[in-house]
Amino acid sequence: MRDAETVTFGGSGLDRAAVLRGKPDEMARHSASAEARLLPVWRGKPLFAGEGAGWLALDHPIVAEAREAPIFLGLDDGAARFALDISPWEPDEDPETLGAFFDPSEQRHPSLAPDQRFAELRGLMARLTRRDAELVATARALTGWHATHGFCARCGERTLPGKAGWQRDCPACGANHFPRTDPVVIVLVTRGDDVLLGRSAFWPEGMYSLLAGFVEPGETIEAAARREVAEEAGIRLGRVGYLASQPWPFPSSLMFGLRAEALTRDIVLDPEELEDALWASREEVLEALHGRHPRLKPARPGSIARFLLERWLADDLD
């Protein structure tokens, strides 16, 4: 697929500078640079300024709210970029929507400018530049991993961040733990001019997307696609092929976008997996993308599902 890496969070050419992670002196030099910046993340919500990422100087007062040391993300045109988890900060109000599939609330720290606020990444991800999208996705995934992996899986003792935030080390047994990425297949299943769509019960009303599921141990992505589609909708697949991938930091997945030809059409729904599944024509998908379909709402802009559906409509999958 010619434009596979143009998907949101796709490769922007960021220099991750992994060699610097184990060199404290070099990291200190980059941190001291006037060009270095950090991105605060509060309970999974990155800081935004307007519609862009809210980068701050490393000596900003908000650093006092941090859970642990900043995490090194890489070099952006030679300037260091860091993420900082400030989840311990308590705003005046905790919204009831916090932690929901989509949280529309925004939080403003008293030390920030009026246009700077913590907001749900799903709502703004398609508006970020390619570089900021890659950096923000990495920041959200890494801060989320640190927040949920504070204890050693081998001995149970509390771990400490190491390698500039790219591992956690156990001082008791010496084990090293590394950020995880969960492989997920998402499948553009077609039969003739129709595409298979489904929806989960916890999604926004009317939203439909491509079928997806986690890859199991010992399984290829093609086998996972066949299994997931069969389990969720009772559809058997023929040829399965790769199209594109997308890092999906909700919380830490790598989405493998695949296309497949359906050998069967009758849907047998698994209600524990999906609330509904259906075949939609090109015309129906186009109407949904333009907000004119009476029933279907499309996958969110910026998602690989939306990316693949738009290219399917344009006959641009090769």
**Mean pLDDT on 83-112:** 91
**Mean pLDDT on 184-205:** 96
Tracing tokens 């200190």 back to the chain, one arrives at: 28
Distance CA(36)–CA(217), nearest Å, equals 40
Q: Over the stretch 210-236, which tens digit does the pLDDT of each residue have?
A: 999 999 999 999 999 999 999 999 999
pLDDT beyond 90 at 239: yes
**Predicted local confidence at residue 276, as pLDDT:** 97
The residues facing 245 across adjacent strands are 256
Task: Return the SS3 of 189.
Answer: strand
**Mean pLDDT on 244-249:** 97
Q: Over the stretch 131-182, which tens digit does the pLDDT of each residue have?
A: 999 999 999 999 999 999 999 999 999 999 999 999 999 999 999 999 999 9
Distance CA(113)–CA(304), nearest Å, equals 33
Q: Over the stretch 263-295, which tens digit does the pLDDT of each residue have?
A: 999 999 999 999 999 999 999 999 999 999 999
**Predicted local confidence at residue 31, as pLDDT:** 97
Task: Return the SS3 of 147.
Answer: helix
DSSP 276: E
- The share of the chain scoring above pLDDT 70, in percent, equals 100
| Maximum Cα interatomic distance, the chain, rounded to a whole number of Å | 62
Closest CA to 190 of 262, 263, 283: 262
Q: What is the pTM of this model?
A: 0.94
**Predicted local confidence at residue 116, as pLDDT:** 98
Task: Return the SS3 of 21.
Answer: coil
Predicted confidence band of residue 95 (pLDDT cuts 50, 70, 90): confident
Distance CA(298)–CA(276), nearest Å, equals 14
Topology of domain 182-313 in CATH is Nucleoside Triphosphate Pyrophosphohydrolase (3.90.79)
Question: DSSP string covering 3-16, please?
Answer: TGGGSTT-----B-
The residues facing 258 across adjacent strands are 187, 242
Domain spans of the chain, in order of start: 4-148, 182-313
pLDDT beyond 90 at 98: no
Predicted confidence band of residue 86 (pLDDT cuts 50, 70, 90): very high
**Predicted local confidence at residue 97, as pLDDT:** 86
Distance CA(289)–CA(308), nearest Å, equals 12
Distance CA(169)–CA(182), nearest Å, equals 21
